[in-house]
Structure 1
């Protein structure tokens, strides 16, 4: 046996990964070909030492795969989901289809109008130099203003700019905007059987809350009537 050969085989029997990785590179066909087993197996690929190394590497790979975090959930199919803006008014959590949303803007001063006839119409707000009607969703939806449930301490009121097809853009103040979420269409349709007001298309369990998803067509028609 040539010098250094015994050291390599000793390493293999002790499951030394370094030896497993280097024996065929140092004394095998990719090395100086000094390994005596080459007389019997001709090529390292035929050697049981090489096969054992491959098995151990595969085992190690399998263990590493098991230790990896699970893959992320696949993105929802856009064709079977709807995009909904989730926001809070007083103690009610509401959802509105984003297709009627133009922008979420910071709160602006609302200037009252003289001789206004609609209780929902609060006045006008300046949106990029244009005066836009401002409506109270609390009044329009009939939400109890006394039942105010404060949100998180850092919640900031916002103004939603909506596109009303018959009256142009309108502004509605809200107490808090949580964000835009996608809900499965089947879930929204199933929630329609849960009841709600005439402006509610479905009611969903949303974490520990109850979320009323608004019927945007009914809402926007009511907006247009309030401005008439």
Structure 2
């Protein structure tokens, strides 16, 4: 991907114009079958998510992100959709550091927590890998195809890797679009789910990023 594009932090959503969500004229579709399998799709996700917390002018990019939003969109929120087993979750963008392909998990001897899966090498740095399925109380953690991904999240103690079965597009939503959390939500998830979002896949549980990050850190204690 063009380095000038990365420097400007622009996003070229080609899947919406010439990909599976557009006119399907992209020549790469013949080789990859679906945009989510294309390196350009993964690179765009990295452009969106793999950002420093400090902007190029030394400012706080989280503050700038909010400040630059048009007046009519300042109550909008952003999330990325991730699937674990059969369930979809909306993870707040500000919780995320980057999305990467599935990588080998190196086991650790004498693990103190069942949620701790091991260590993962991400761009030359070894990071702890935690089972998000375990934290959220999801029994079926079947990750067996090419869609599986790893998400690096930010916690107070540093970055942590969580594996998921699939990552879909970044979405924006208004607070008024969040549906109440149903009484049937699992007890283990109730502390982290703040509501439901209607998405193309059906519904996604909206996650409280701060609570989830705290739970992930506690799972390492």
Same fold (TM over 0.5): yes
Provide the rounded CA distance (Å) in 2 between the counterparts of 1:156 and 1:149. 8
The CA RMSD over aligned residues, in Å, is 2.3
Quote the residue 2:158 is aligned against.
Answer: 168
Indicate conservation of the 8 Å contact 1:94/1:212, yes or no: yes
As a proportion of its length, which structure holds more helix? 1
Give the number of the structure whose alpha-carbon radius of gyration is greater: 1
User: Structure 1 residues 212, 80: closer, same or farther in 2, change over 3 A?
Assistant: same
Provide the rounded CA distance (Å) in 1 between the counterparts of 2:127 and 2:143. 28
User: Structure 1 residues 149, 157: closer, same or farther in 2, change over 3 A?
Assistant: closer
Provide the rounded CA distance (Å) in 2 between the counterparts of 1:206 and 1:77. 22
Quote the residue 1:202 is aligned against.
Answer: 195
Displacement of 1:130 in angstroms is 1.2
Paired residue secondary structure (2:180): helix
- Report the TM-score, using the length of structure 1 for normalisation: 0.59
Displacement of 1:220 in angstroms is 0.6
Give yes or no for the alignment of 1:144 onto 2:139.
yes
Paired residue secondary structure (2:133): helix
Indicate conservation of the 8 Å contact 2:81/2:169, yes or no: yes
Indicate conservation of the 8 Å contact 2:85/2:140, yes or no: yes
Displacement of 1:155 in angstroms is 5.6
Indicate conservation of the 8 Å contact 1:105/1:159, yes or no: yes
- Of 108, 111, 115, which residue of structure 2 is paired with 1:113? 108
Provide the rounded CA distance (Å) in 2 between the counterparts of 1:88 and 1:200. 15
- Report the TM-score, using the length of structure 2 for normalisation: 0.61
Alignment coverage as a number of residue pairs: 147
Provide the rounded CA distance (Å) in 2 between the counterparts of 1:76 and 1:160. 31
| Cα shift readout 1:71-103 (whole Å, capped 9, x = no counterpart) | xxxx99430210011111000011110001000
- Of 158, 178, 182, which residue of structure 1 is paired with 2:149? 158
Indicate conservation of the 8 Å contact 1:204/1:210, yes or no: yes
Displacement of 1:192 in angstroms is 3.5
- Which structure 1 residue ranges, 5 or more long, are not aligned? 1-74
- Which structure 2 residue ranges, 5 or more long, are not aligned? 1-69
Paired residue secondary structure (1:110): coil
